[in-house]
Structure 1
Amino acid sequence: MNNNTSLIWNIVLSLAVAVLFFLHFSGKPSADSGSVADGNVVAGRKTVYVQVDSLLKNYEFFKDTRKELENKNFQLENELNTKGRSLQNEVAFFQQKAQTMTPEQARSTEAQLMKKQQDLMAYRDQSAQALGQEEAKKNEELYKNIRSYIDKYNKENGYEFVLGYSLGGGILFANPSLDVTQKILDGLNKEYKSDGKPAAADSTKKK
């Protein structure tokens, strides 16, 4: 898995932890919403944040999925290299024997080698596309896992915003007391360990 893949996961996770609550809770009035009548902010909204990089690094589903995709990519590369070397050997052998072949034999052998090359390129493209589709499905599953768990988690806490905090992101400072990364991570890993699937968003089971 390359750097672009890691960037995709970061983007997916940031959307999962930030957008959900902005859309779902931002329109709800808060009893302790801030007031600026006298020029001072009083009692802000219930806002917490999740450290995106830390959550990715320690979420078992992400680690297992990344390892699985990396292994498949490694196996594909090895397979393509093996097939490529085999074809190169055939080409080299043909070049050595071409002078002893009739024109018809040479044309036939050359056409066969070209067909093998085309087939190998097509196989490479199809395999890469299939791996990319599998990665996209895993990205979607990651998003659903986190969204489902945070939705359930918030029923017990009533936050209005859950922000995604990452180095170089839009949030320049975050108070450590508002960090719920470990709580979210513990819940996600507990669910993943139990059955490998996200719990339903409407579950009432206490963590």
Structure 2
Amino acid sequence: MNKIALPIAIIALIASIFSIYSSKSSNELVYVDVNKLLEGYKRTTVERQAFNKKTEVLKANIDSLATNWQNELKSYEKERSGMTKKEVELKQELLGNKQQQLNNYQQAIQKQIQEEDQKMTQTVVNDINAYVKEYGKENSYPIIFGAGGSGNIMYAEDASDLTSKVLEGLNAQYEGK
């Protein structure tokens, strides 16, 4: 019986060590701070700069059109006294139509800016999600929580925070390292 007990004890010891090791690495609860990833990810900065440049151009177009309309209005107010009643009516109608077109254009540009902001943000979020998924697989994490100040994770030990490691790898991947 002693001959069987020793190998069983050794197998049990090895199994215990293996289960302790595997349970520690694969059942470890970890998280990343999503806001820090978004802020620290270099692609976010690049995309935001490109978005801001495009937004500035669109807003400059609106400002230019608004200035032109205001100049026409000032010109009309100066010349109004020398116009006939029919000319005044036509000019008022023309200015009203231009103002309506300007308002419509402003609304369309605002909508375009919002859509492009959402598209840009979603592109960055998709990058981060894909990287975190791969990071979790490579490091044998069964789950990685995302914390963002919205109440998902109310408390976690600092040792459970993978944000800096993930951010470092994410930026390295973006830069092609």
Separation (CA, whole Å) in 2 of partners of 1:59 and 1:169: 23
Superposed counterparts of 1:169-188, under 5 Å: 169-188=151-170
The aligned counterpart of 2:104 is 122
Which structure is larger by alpha-carbon Rg, 1 or 2? 2
Counterpart residue identity of residue 55, structure 1: L
The aligned counterpart of 1:73 is 55
Q: Percent identity?
A: 28
Q: Return the offset for 1:142.
A: 1.9
Are the aligned partners of 2:136 and 2:143 in contact in 1 as well (CA < 8 Å)?
A: no
Q: Secondary structure of the equivalent of 1:163?
A: strand
After superposition, what is the alpha-carbon deviation per residue over 1:99-123, rounded to whole angstroms, capped at 9, x for unaligned?
A: 1112222222222211211111111
Gap regions ≥5 residues in structure 2: 1-18
The aligned counterpart of 1:12 is none
Separation (CA, whole Å) in 1 of partners of 2:108 and 2:123: 23
The CA RMSD over aligned residues, in Å, is 2.4
Report which of the two has the higher share of helix.
2
Gap regions ≥5 residues in structure 1: 1-30, 33-41, 195-206
Superposed counterparts of 1:38-187, under 5 Å: 45-167=27-149, 169-187=151-169
Separation (CA, whole Å) in 2 of partners of 1:185 and 1:170: 20
Aligned residues: 156
Q: Return the offset for 1:145.
A: 0.8
Are the aligned partners of 2:28 and 2:141 in contact in 1 as well (CA < 8 Å)?
A: yes
Separation (CA, whole Å) in 1 of partners of 2:160 and 2:83: 78
Q: Secondary structure of the equivalent of 1:172?
A: coil
Q: Out of 85-94 and 74-83, give the one that drifted further.
A: 74-83
Counterpart residue identity of residue 126, structure 1: A
Separation (CA, whole Å) in 2 of partners of 1:151 and 1:45: 16
Question: CA distance change for structure 1 residues 134 and 179 in 2, over 3 Å: closer, same or farther?
Answer: same
Counterpart residue identity of residue 44, structure 2: F
Over 3 Å off, 4+ runs: 166-170
TM-score (norm 1): 0.66
Counterpart residue identity of residue 105, structure 1: E
Q: Return the offset for 1:124.
A: 0.9
